[in-house]
Homo-oligomer: A and B are copies of this chain.
Amino acid sequence: MDTNEKRIATIFKAFCDENRIHVLKLLIAGEKCACDLLDEIKITQPTLSHHMKILCDAEIVIPRKEGKWTYYSLNPDGVEKAKRLLSEITQLQHQPTQN
């Protein structure tokens, strides 16, 4: 049993919770601090912090500390990696993002 598959599963866990999906959708509009996200999602601050850690550990989101705030944004590299992995495990050809 390849540990590689466990690694892949861990990355996709970023997308397995409705609150994390919600966060990602909010981050599409651009970088936001935790308190901004907290205004829009019906969870407590520690719960949000927990989800942000999972998103950051999966490298789907990048944190940036500035003073007492932490700003979060989508991580293009991590997102690209997730898309590549999804292509790999489903055998459909991967199309690199054209920007």
Interface residues of A (CB under 8 A from B): 1-2, 5-6, 8-9, 12-13, 15-22, 24-25, 28, 41-42, 60, 74, 76, 79-80, 82-83, 86-87, 89-93, 95-99
Binding site of A, secondary structure by majority: helix, strand, loop or mixed? helix
Nearest-Cβ distance from residue A30 to partner chain B, whole angstroms: 10
Name which residue of chain B comes closest to A22, CB basis: B5
Residues of B within 8 A of A90 (CB): 24, 28, 60, 74, 79, 82-83
Say yes or no: B8 contacts A21, CB within 8 Å.
Answer: yes
Say yes or no: B93 contacts A82, CB within 8 Å.
Answer: no
CA distance A80 to B24 in the complex (A): 20
Residues of B within 8 A of A12 (CB): 12, 15-16
What 7 pairs between A and B have smallest CB-CB spacing?
A: A95-B95, A12-B15, A28-B91, A5-B18, A5-B21, A79-B90, A6-B18
CA distance A90 to B17 in the complex (A): 15
